[in-house]
A and B are shown apart, each in its own frame.
Chain A
């Protein structure tokens, strides 16, 4: 008889991800992914000046503010055919790559590592043995016996006081936890160091973006960072060198700690290279342009269908790219009106709530507020894995370099040969995120160099006026692409202009978590989360750690709004089991 599991962290009022599983004989037989909140950014943007849109869109999500700001200005620039000065491209690139490093580090250490690391078991570790183990992997100074002994002591103090702080709800002692005590101790030490490093990565965003969490330096047509190497008020030499110092420090952590940690942990759980593939169609768009016209990019884009070895290359951001016309969003199983899957430029977001989903199986016809995006009618997996596979299979040098570094590290520690085919998996997504993080670290430093070099040539241009070329009686359509930490993000806009002013007629954001977390479509094809969960083992239905492992490997980010503090202290059910 099958069992039903609902994972529903309803501690925030609404606006989060809910996962429903049907488990049969210890394996997931069917899965449903639903988002519980309506998000209709276009209703707020309709009629507004497109130059203001990014200020609103960066509030869609409090964690990914920067990416929605970037995609929005790119969308309007794409519509108007507006070039962006090289300095502005490079400043934006450094911001988004620093943001990506921050985001990937937080995801691994603070949101998902606890699926694999048994914090309490670290108390059984011998700091000397842990330091010796770490010395064989990298020469990171934070791995000294003294540092590890201090972490162990700190942890012991928390446990003794019965106060496990942020760790108290982990699945400690779960039979699926398998790391040796020394590796657990190293992971706890790196968790603490990562808190400091991710904060530093975010400092770069603040230094260049004027402020975090919501950057203020963007403009349709460029950036607002006046460049004057000698002025204290402008982007000057002092600020630029501070940025470089921080980026170098973060990159050292990524290559000496994050990448080796993922390799070390992965090798203890090799069966997770077999679970969690799901949808093996992948989409990644090119990013980090290196010229004003955005014709050359440092991150490659492409489409992979059914795990094919030859990606179809996406070479740029132009509206003539074939994939642009093939994007649709379906609502057959989403709480919206309409029957046909629509292209985002024609997209509608008219809610049609048909009632809350209780416990019935299968799910009711409509069960999610998330739409179902498709490319040429096919579900697509987006994210670091898509990015890394596209790069690897097209021979992109930097991707190949860090894939090789990861594969070699797993081999050195565990004597396991990881093949690129094994990347289609739960662990593959974690590995790809670490690989991409290292790439972003290296590229942020490269783009810092390009920026300093370009300023050195005497170029201080930062802005092209979007109003300069407006034509009366014209409708412009555009798409802003960004390969965000969670994958391909696209903002689609339709603008009307009378030649003197402009306003938004339509605006649709197709976000990475919509591609990955979306529900079934009109052809009953499951979305990537739903497909990836099928076949996962579940040892204990009350503690569905294995399902969390696969979901967390996507780096879900759906709760784009509500952060309400629950003041009452009533117990809120997180996992429900029935059947």
Chain B
């Protein structure tokens, strides 16, 4: 059973929202994370996210973020307290419980990971489409390193692959005309 998980959140069909899945796939291609680390392209799981964090000692989430001040492509790392800095929402649909609500559900059950880190990348465009904007594409390397640092800080030990593997970013494959 994995003690740590890296979960990339986001919709690969929605422009910069693909940053979460992209970063975890690039991370997996560059690093052998170790047997005790599960690397998951989580899509947009809503409340199902709770199930993926149950009983872990450490969780790293990669997601697109919005902020009032940050520029597109900026990488910001939050700890558990920073993620939970405001109340949950009244959800209309199963998507709306987000990271914050999923953690709170896990807390209530007593199964939330003690260490949680959010590697957030400020999104530029989230229009329909399968490509990142140049600003956010430029943030991938930094975000991958932030994931590695977060895992190392929790006690996991990802090892760099030499040479790296090719990441499977299948959604970026161009459409035949």
CB within 8 Å of B: which residues of A?
7, 9, 11-17, 38-41, 43-44, 46-48, 55-56, 59-63, 65, 103, 106-107, 110-111, 154, 158, 165-170, 192, 195, 198-199, 202, 212-214, 503, 548, 551-552, 555-571, 574
Instruction: Determine the distance from Cα of A170 to Cα of B110 in the docked complex, in whole angstroms.
Output: 21
Structural contact, B120 and A567, CB atoms closer than 8 A: yes
A559-B95, A561-B13 known; A166+B51 contact, CB < 8 A:
no
Structural contact, B87 and A168, CB atoms closer than 8 A: yes
Structural contact, A59 and B12, CB atoms closer than 8 A: yes
Measured CB to CB, the closest approach of chain B to A170, in angstroms, equals 8
Residues of A within 8 A of B9 (CB): 563, 565
Measured CB to CB, the closest approach of chain A to B88, in angstroms, equals 6
Residues of B within 8 A of A170 (CB): 90
Residues of B within 8 A of A567 (CB): 65-67, 70, 76, 78, 120
Structural contact, A65 and B43, CB atoms closer than 8 A: yes
Query: Taking the complex as formed, is B80 at the interface, i.e. its CB lies under 8 A from any CB of chain A?
Result: no
Structural contact, A7 and B96, CB atoms closer than 8 A: no
Structural contact, B41 and A199, CB atoms closer than 8 A: no
Structural contact, A44 and B91, CB atoms closer than 8 A: no
Look across to chain A and name the residue whose beta carbon is closest to the beta carbon of B175: A47
Structural contact, A562 and B104, CB atoms closer than 8 A: no
Among residues 5 to 20 in chain B, which have CB atoms less than 8 Å away from a CB atom of chain A? 9-14, 17
Q: Identify which of B25-33, B123-131, B132-140, B141-149 touches chain A.
A: B123-131
Among residues 145 to 177 in chain B, which have CB atoms less than 8 Å away from a CB atom of chain A? 170-171, 175-177
Contact with A along B30-46 (1 / 0, CB 8 A): 00000000000111111
Instruction: Determine the distance from Cα of A15 to Cα of B10 in the docked complex, in whole angstroms.
Output: 13
CB within 8 Å of A: which residues of B?
9-14, 17, 41-48, 50-51, 54, 63-68, 70, 76, 78, 83, 85-101, 104-105, 107-110, 118, 120, 123, 126, 128-130, 170-171, 175-177
Structural contact, A564 and B66, CB atoms closer than 8 A: yes
8 Å CB contact of A166 from B46, B85, B104: B104
A65-B43, A562-B17 known; A111+B91 contact, CB < 8 A:
yes
Structural contact, B176 and A12, CB atoms closer than 8 A: no
Structural contact, A44 and B126, CB atoms closer than 8 A: no
Look across to chain B and name the residue whose beta carbon is closest to the beta carbon of A41: B13
A48-B175, A166-B105, A565-B98 known; A17+B92 contact, CB < 8 A:
yes
A41-B13, A213-B45 known; A556+B92 contact, CB < 8 A:
yes
A213-B43, A565-B64 known; A9+B13 contact, CB < 8 A:
no
Residues of A within 8 A of B90 (CB): 9, 169-170, 548, 574
Structural contact, B128 and A56, CB atoms closer than 8 A: no
Instruction: Determine the distance from Cα of A563 to Cα of B101 in the docked complex, in whole angstroms.
Output: 12
Look across to chain B and name the residue whose beta carbon is closest to the beta carbon of A19: B92
Measured CB to CB, the closest approach of chain A to B131, in angstroms, equals 11
Look across to chain B and name the residue whose beta carbon is closest to the beta carbon of A18: B92
Look across to chain B and name the residue whose beta carbon is closest to the beta carbon of A575: B90
Residues of A within 8 A of B41 (CB): 214
Residues of A within 8 A of B54 (CB): 199
Instruction: Determine the distance from Cα of A566 to Cα of B70 in the docked complex, in whole angstroms.
Output: 12
